[in-house]
Structure 1
Amino acid sequence: MPITPFHFGPGAAIHAVAPRHVSFLAFCAANVLIDIEPLYYMLTRQYPLHRFFHTYIGASIIALATVLIFLAALKLASRFSLPNLFQWQSLNSRAIWLSAALGSYSHIVFDSVMHADITPLYPFSETNVLYQLIPLGTLHLFCIFAAILGLLILGIRQWFKIVRKD
């Protein structure tokens, strides 16, 4: 299934540990942009589903596209009133770059473990040495655990902010 929320779990954990340095939204945006590719190929019934953007070169382009989208959105936000979910309007370009790169490259790593049709090192190699490196259930549990851990850390941080105000 494209655009799986499993990819978001590690992003939540990384954001929770370094909220000023990693944007959860930019991390997720990169993941969603990458998965437009298999969604398109699913809808048009073309195989393989995972092609160019599921390579490290393709992921680099997705990271760049994510950064450009966020920088354009920041420029728009300076002129128009846009929602500021997860405080994205206070992000600096370094945080956006880091988040987009982490989102893009982690997506390739996780999908490489899951999907046989991925060739992450293409055009240099058509092999996928990560395929089934760990069981799929273990990978899913890791992503779920990361999401729970991230939410827990964010909740604790929020609780301490509330307690300090009292």
Structure 2
Amino acid sequence: MPFTPFHLGPAFLLGELFEKKVNLFSILIGSIIIDVRATYCLFAGCRPLHGPLHTFLAATIVGLLIAWLIFSQRKWLQKITNKLRIEQSYSLNSIILGSIIGTWSHVLLDAPLYTDISPF
């Protein structure tokens, strides 16, 4: 999607459906981070617009990097969710699962829309 924030809606829905099993921060970040290169290419004019991050392999690698980042910052993020009264799991499994669901959902949503995406 050219407007990355539209990926947040499905991510919130998935986060609510799997509330106890996935970490909300990881699924939200995972759902939008895939478009970093596409956003750069949109302004820089490079082609193809979507490129290698819109594959399941790259989405998995990016998801694991997101999981590492969120897991390393979990104490700080836990304070935020506690203040907002959002009950979240910060276990390694919930963070990894959330980030993979987020990145893969992005690829799944974009793949049928754009001809320059080959997710496999």
- TM norm structure 2: 0.84
Contact in 2 for aligned 1:3/1:35 (Cα 8 Å): no
Which residue matches 2:44? 44
The CA distance in 2 between the partners of 1:3 and 1:26, in whole Å, is: 19
The C-alpha deviation readout for 1:88-118, integer Å capped at 9, x for no partner, is: 5x42111111111111111111100111111
Poorly superposed stretches of 4+, deviation over 6 Å: none
Structure scoring higher RCO (CA < 8 A, sep ≥ 6) equals 2
Give the partner amino acid of 2:21: H
The CA distance in 1 between the partners of 2:62 and 2:15, in whole Å, is: 20
Which residue matches 1:156? none
Change (3 A) 1:72 1:3: farther
Which residue matches 2:117? 118
Which residue matches 1:55? 55
Q: Give the secondary structure class of the aligned counterpart of 2:80.
A: coil
The CA distance in 1 between the partners of 2:31 and 2:58, in whole Å, is: 12
Residues 50-129 of structure 1: pairs in structure 2 closer than 5 A: 50-74=50-74, 77=76, 82-84=79-81, 86-88=86-88, 90-121=89-120
Give the partner amino acid of 2:4: T
Contact in 2 for aligned 1:3/1:36 (Cα 8 Å): no
- Kindly, what percent of the aligned residue pairs are identical? 27
Tell me how far 1:87 sits from its aligned partner. Answer: 4.4
Which residue matches 1:26? 26
- TM norm structure 1: 0.62
The RMSD of aligned alpha carbons is: 2.2
The C-alpha deviation readout for 1:10-29, integer Å capped at 9, x for no partner, is: 22222222212122221110
| Runs of 5+ unmatched residues, structure 2 | none
The CA distance in 2 between the partners of 1:24 and 1:82, in whole Å, is: 14
State the number of aligned residues. 117
Moved more, 101-110 or 3-12: 3-12
